[in-house]
Amino acid sequence: MTAKNPNNADPITGEPGAHPAGTAAGAAAGAAAGAAVGSVAGPVGTVVGGAAGAIAGGLAGKGAAERVNPTAEDSYWRANYDKRPTYKAGYTYDDYAPAYRTGYTGWERASASGESWDSYEPKLRTEYERSRGSSRLNWEEAKASARDAWHRVERAIPGDADKDGR
């Protein structure tokens, strides 16, 4: 999602909520796996297996990337950031957005390896500090907002991926 593409629209269909990075990562992994399996049948099998794997992997990658819908999360937090107990009067959504984004995108990465907030927090801090832009919040001020976003997506996904009881 960018300022030029606030709905994260699919570049081909225009549908909101596209996840090209997840699709691409899945396609690359699927192509490699398919080519490896297809190589048993020789060069033609490698090509066919790679193509089939890329399609299947792309669809799987898109599905994984869509576990957290950044468009929906951004909309939710834009409407609710100033209702949170950690809200600082006079601050705008632009001050809080990088923290929320760090939380919900971080959960997605951490859940893949089963990491908890506590074990993943140092990585989140680094990510936030690298991507906070013009936000007036330092990490200690932003951390609660990132954690709110982390737990919001965690509660929306069945199970307890990071085993913290939430």
Q: Which pLDDT tens digit goes with each residue over 15-54? A: 666 555 555 555 565 556 655 666 666 776 666 666 666 6
As averages over each run of 10 residues, the pLDDT of the chain (166 residues) reads 59 60 56 62 67 61 64 96 95 98 94 92 97 97 97 78 52
What is the model's pLDDT at position 62? Answer: 47
Q: At 43, phi and psi to the nearest 5?
A: -60, -40
List the chain domain ranges: 20-65, 70-156
Burial classification of residue 102, based on how many CB atoms lie within 10 Å of its CB (0-12 exposed, 13-18 middle, 19 or more buried): buried
**pTM of this prediction?**
0.59
Q: How far apart are CA 66 and CA 11, in angstroms?
A: 16
pLDDT of residue 133: 97
pLDDT for the residue 112 = 86
Residue 13 is predicted with a pLDDT of 58
